[in-house]
Amino acid sequence: MSEISDVMGEAGRRGADALPLAGTHILLGEGDADTAARIARALRDRGAASVHPVASTEAFLLAGSAPPAPVRFWDAAVWHTGLGPDDAALGGLLERWRAQHPGIPVVVSDDAPSARLAVTALRGRAADLVERSDPDGLATAVARAVAERADPLGVEGSGQNSLRMLVVGAHPDDVEIGLGGTIHRRAHSGWDVTVLTMSRGGNGGDPARRRKEAHLAAEVLGARLLMEDLPDGSMADDRVTVEAVERAVAEAAPDVVVVHSESDTHQDHRAVHRATLVACRKVARLACYQSPSATVSYRPNRFIELSEVDVEAKLAAIAAHHSQAASRWYLDEDLLRSTARYWGRFSQTRYAEPLELVHERNPVLL
């Protein structure tokens, strides 16, 4: 298994690890006994050591705090929205759970997940939102949540708990469009994600307003934002640009850097791509996301699986760029969603974001 498949996508992990839930203990909030039995079976098929079903929110929270012996702690929890009085109950439940059990992922099941519910799940940092009638899909989501919590690293023996990712874009909103779903996914599985935007986007509107929008978008995704002030429209791959990226590299100390591709019609995107290659020559992994201005020469070779919640987060982050939404064709929600859906075919998942891997090195094994 290649290093990058651990770091940049789950697809490579599947199959190599036949029992992804081996030895885990799962708390299952599910009111219907037959459904609970089906889900428990799917979880045990993936190696779960124990599945503890409870049929009410009160019992769920109680068992969360006091697991029944011999279980000492939960590896993950599943909560069915039907246990609450209404959809709004999900927000409160997730907030309480996170306060009491930070770090234990909750996968939410629903009879027919709506976009609105996905936003609530996203805000409450649910690990995933899945259809209740699909025990296999649910068990896969639990396995993914556990894997991302337990081993988000992929660099064996480095002793780190999480990876650090730096994502570089020429203008406000470039990074959200190219990699918003992945940023959300990684940030919420414990990665430290920094976004570097090289300009204030003066050609597309008032820089002060765009700056505020960029901060809000980063917050939605769970990332930290660094902003430079290079000239929008006339960036060069010169020393100034290289040094700007080097400053961010020094500050964020990234294991992974992702930037625009060389195959792009926008001169600023190409300049930032080249400057980043130079600035990140010592970074372990470098990859390129797809911008709306990418050409047909953009050839991705890695695909990051996204959940519905990740896609909703991406759309919410892009919507934070209010000043651009009306005037830019590529910000159309239908286009963004169908693009993620299209790339999903390469990772055999519903949604994905593509990456062109430029280089990877293993700093530990070298």
For Zn ion, the binding residues (CB under 5 A) are: 170-171, 174
Which of 96, 328 has the CB closer to Zn ion?
A: 328
CB of 269 to Zn ion, least distance (A): 6
- Minimum gap (Å) between residue 211 Cβ and Zn ion: 15
Give the shortest CB-139-to-Zn ion separation in angstroms.
40
* DSSP code at position 238: S
Nearer to Zn ion, 39 or 175 (CB): 175
For the bound state, the minimum distance from the C-beta of residue 177 to Zn ion, rounded and expressed in Å, comes to 8
115: three-class secondary structure by DSSP: helix
**Those residues with Cβ within 8 angstroms of residue 258's Cβ, 6 or more apart along the chain or in another chain:** 165, 166, 167, 168, 178, 179, 182, 286, 287, 288, 289, 355
**CA–CA separation, 233 vs 143, rounded Å?**
45
Cα–Cα distance measured from residue 230 to residue 60, given in angstroms and rounded to the nearest whole number: 52
Nearer to Zn ion, 71 or 216 (CB): 216
Which string of DSSP letters, residue by residue, matches 177-226? Answer: HHHHHHHHHHHTTT-EEEEEES---GGGS-HHHHHHHHHHHHHHHT-EEE
Q: Nearer Cβ to Zn ion, position 10 or 264? A: 264
**Which residue from 83, 38, 88, 47 is spatially nearest to 62, judged by alpha carbons?**
83
Nearest approach in angstroms of CB 207 to Zn ion is 14
Q: How far is the CB of 322 from Zn ion (least distance, A)?
A: 17
Q: Output the smallest distance, CB 261 to Zn ion, in A.
A: 12
Q: How far is the CB of 231 from Zn ion (least distance, A)?
A: 13
Q: Of 133 and 234, which has the nearer Cβ to Zn ion?
A: 234
Q: Which is nearer to Zn ion, 209 or 350 (CB)?
A: 209
- Give the residue nearest to Zn ion (CB): 171
Angle at 293 between CA 170 and CA 245, to 5 degrees: 20
Contact 46, 34 (CB under 8 A): no
Among residues 168 and 221, whose Cβ is nearest to Zn ion? 168
Are 302 and 355 within 8 A, CB to CB?
Answer: yes
Give the rounded distance of the alpha carbon of 362 from its chain centre. Answer: 22
**Which CB, 95 or 332, lies closer to Zn ion?**
332
Give CA–CA dist 312/326, Å, rounded.
19
Q: Strand, coil or helix: what is 113?
A: coil
Residues 6+ apart with CB under 8 A from 223: 167, 183, 187, 193, 194, 195
